[in-house]
Structure 1
Amino acid sequence: MQYTRLGRTGLKVSRLCLGTMNFGPQTTEEDSFRIMDRALELGLNFFDTADVYGWKKGEGVTEQIIGRWFAQGGGRREKTIIATKVYGNMGDWPNQSRVSALHIREACEQSLRRLQTDHIDLYQMHHIDRDTPWDELWQAMDVLVKQGKVLYVGSSNFAGWHIAQACEAAKSRHFLGLVSEQSLYNLIDRTIELEVIPAAQSYGLGIIPWSPLKGGILGGALKKTTEGRRTSEFAQKNLEKYRPKLERYEALCEKIGEKPADVGLAWLVAQPGVTAPIIGPRTIEQLDGSLRALDMKLDEATRTELEEIFPGPGGPAPEAYAW
């Protein structure tokens, strides 16, 4: 396994992050345990989850599964960098969502209880909350850090200017602030190259891409239309929307003798600013297969052809659209 520092911190995380969103809804608890055990065997120490995963309001199904896995002992918790999130709707009352100081405090306590741990390594805001002042938010996070319940704070789905706002507000409080941004990023979805990645690099944030294979359609979807998430209506619509590009993409992968999923991950791992793409295996076999991406080096000709198939926005703003 390869490791890198998370942004400007001294924390070392694996170059792939284990996403747990399937744990509960699509993967049984027993299989989830096996996948997490195998991840540690492979040296993958970075796990991502969220309080809303499991999609039963207020229950935190996936966090509970991880908590029961931690409770088995054997160094599972000590070896794992656990990242979870706050923001989503966890109840029907007014303050059971978003990132007010009240909800941050209560959501953190509930996540700690479900995860059966005394601290969260990376506590991420799942979305920007335009209605909560930065002073309120950072004061709440500062308290959690001082209590030892949270070690690092990250963001998810922030715009570039939100990252700048957050970091400047934290700096004024002499607080470490954001250390990572979790964004939608893959060969198809490259909007973050305009401003999010430049902002993250400027402020020393690691980029943690979610949906690195676009919900599976970059994983050889044309030949696997009846498997996993590719069967969803959303995936099927994307499949038809991007079919001409996917045909070229899968032909390129076949030409170089590599699996489409591995090529998509290898391209992403090599992108500037990227710390660790989030992989969401439903099986141990899928997890094992993901490691190929870390050893793969795409040559210049392959990268050029990928850029032709999936052109990005043209680089960082404003040069991407102006002189």
Structure 2
Amino acid sequence: MHYRTLGRTGLKVSPLTLGTMNFGELTDEPTSFRIMDEALDAGINHFDTADVYGGPQSPDMDKGYGISEEIIGKWLAATGKRDRIVLATKVYQPMETGPNDRGLSAYHIRRACEASLKRLGTDHIDLYQMHHIDRNTPWEEVWQAMEQLVREGKITYVGSSNFAAWNVVSAQCAAKARNFLGLASEQSLYNLTQRTIELEMIPALREYGIGLIPWSPIGQGMLAGALGKHNEGRRGSDAFEQKLDKLRPQVEAYETLCADIGAAPAQVALAWLLHNPVVTATIVGPRTVEHLKQNLGAADLTLSEATLKRLDEIWPGPGGEAPMAYAW
């Protein structure tokens, strides 16, 4: 496994990040343990979770949020391997029904961090990520809260997720004014079928030295051999089937290309992301150990220039970076 630095930081992480959103909801605890064992043995040292993962992600429904963190905490306690992983979690989503039990206020950040530390059974979080932009909280307040957690040794780096490019710029300008490192990473929706962030987000991250960690890299299964599985009688949700019907010509061309180069579709989708120098790592969210093993080969898969060109033809992006993509 060839490790990469997380953006402009000196922290080294594996090119594949173990996403644990399925832990506790679609994947039971014993299987989650085996997935983490297998991931670490394979060289994956970056584990990603969130305080809301493991259930319906809503405090208005039955309890379930926080279970993913709890499962990771139990695994860490059982294995003693805390110092072998870069542990990342997130803050923003509502964790209770009170008016201050959500968002990025200093009040909620402090309480959410303490709760995550307790569930994870650790004294520090390596990468603490804002799960979404909070337009009601000023950056001065957000960075004050994050700086306090860094001083206390409870977090080491700060990341973002689902931000717009101008949110990243605003965050970094505010952080620089405080002589604070600011963002180390951004998690964005990015895959061959969803390339909008090429317009502004990727240029912004490159300019500020912020590592990109794409989520949904295989397009909710669309890039993982969906047509072949469909032909075998395995069907997805109605919405997925409708999308597959709409994209059928592209999916057919894509799966044919993957077969021609002798690589699994999911591996090609992951490897395509890793060819982008702004991408530090891409999240894989396996439900089973077998799913994880199928994705591991992506870290060592090199795509030729001809293959990359053909992928652009099958899945065209927005036309480059803004404003040149739509103006002179």
TM (norm. structure 1) is: 0.96
Matches of 1:155 and 1:22 in 2, distance apart?
Answer: 20
Match of 2:79 among 66, 73, 82: 73
Whether the aligned pair in 2 keeps the contact of 1:216 and 1:230 (CA below 8 Å) is: no
Q: Which amino acid aligns with 1:72?
A: A
Match of 1:62 among 47, 68, 74: 68
1:91 aligns with 2:100: no
In the other structure, the counterpart of 1:239 is 244
1:187 aligns with 2:231: no
Shift of 1:225: 3.7
Deviations 1:132-182 (A, max 9, x none): 000000000110000000100000011111000000000001111101000
Matches of 1:313 and 1:28 in 2, distance apart?
Answer: 39
Match of 2:138 among 123, 133, 137: 133
Whether the aligned pair in 1 keeps the contact of 2:214 and 2:279 (CA below 8 Å) is: yes
Q: Which amino acid aligns with 2:191?
A: N
Match of 1:280 among 261, 276, 285: 285
Whether the aligned pair in 1 keeps the contact of 2:3 and 2:12 (CA below 8 Å) is: yes
In the other structure, the counterpart of 1:35 is 35
SS in structure 1 of the partner of residue 33 of structure 2: helix
SS in structure 1 of the partner of residue 111 of structure 2: helix
Matches of 1:90 and 1:300 in 2, distance apart?
Answer: 46
Match of 2:120 among 102, 115, 120: 115
In the other structure, the counterpart of 1:6 is 6
Match of 2:205 among 188, 200, 206: 200
SS in structure 1 of the partner of residue 117 of structure 2: helix
Match of 1:300 among 291, 305, 312: 305
Matches of 2:107 and 2:242 in 1, distance apart?
Answer: 40
Q: Which amino acid aligns with 1:181?
A: E
Whether the aligned pair in 2 keeps the contact of 1:215 and 1:230 (CA below 8 Å) is: no
Matches of 1:173 and 1:225 in 2, distance apart?
Answer: 53
Q: Which amino acid aligns with 1:126?
A: H
Shift of 1:226: 9.4
- Percentage of pairs with the same residue: 61
Deviations 1:223-258 (A, max 9, x none): 22499x972344233222322210111111112221
SS in structure 2 of the partner of residue 82 of structure 1: strand
Matches of 1:232 and 1:247 in 2, distance apart?
Answer: 19
In the other structure, the counterpart of 1:147 is 152
Matches of 2:269 and 2:78 in 1, distance apart?
Answer: 35
Whether the aligned pair in 1 keeps the contact of 2:157 and 2:183 (CA below 8 Å) is: yes
Q: Which amino acid aligns with 1:288?
A: K
CA RMSD between the two structures? 1.5
Question: Which stretch of structure 1 is more off in the superposition, 168-177 or 284-293?
Answer: 284-293
In the other structure, the counterpart of 1:16 is 16
Matches of 1:41 and 1:174 in 2, distance apart?
Answer: 38
SS in structure 2 of the partner of residue 123 of structure 1: strand
Between the two proteins, the alignment pairs up a number of residues equal to: 321
Whether the aligned pair in 1 keeps the contact of 2:190 and 2:217 (CA below 8 Å) is: yes
Whether the aligned pair in 1 keeps the contact of 2:24 and 2:55 (CA below 8 Å) is: no
Matches of 1:236 and 1:68 in 2, distance apart?
Answer: 37
Shift of 1:54: 1.3
Shift of 1:279: 0.3
Matches of 1:199 and 1:106 in 2, distance apart?
Answer: 31
Deviations 1:258-301 (A, max 9, x none): 11111111111111300101001112222122121122111122
SS in structure 1 of the partner of residue 26 of structure 2: coil
Match of 1:252 among 249, 257, 267: 257
Match of 1:271 among 273, 276, 287: 276
Q: Which amino acid aligns with 1:50?
A: A
1:313 aligns with 2:323: no
Question: Which stretch of structure 1 is more off in the superposition, 129-138 or 296-305?
Answer: 296-305
Matches of 2:277 and 2:196 in 1, distance apart?
Answer: 14
Whether the aligned pair in 2 keeps the contact of 1:122 and 1:151 (CA below 8 Å) is: yes
In the other structure, the counterpart of 1:213 is 218
In the other structure, the counterpart of 2:62 is none
Whether the aligned pair in 2 keeps the contact of 1:167 and 1:177 (CA below 8 Å) is: yes
Matches of 2:203 and 2:246 in 1, distance apart?
Answer: 29
Matches of 2:79 and 2:301 in 1, distance apart?
Answer: 34
Given the superposition, is the C-alpha separation of residues 234 and 99 from structure 1 closer, same or farther in structure 2, using an over 3 Å criterion?
A: farther
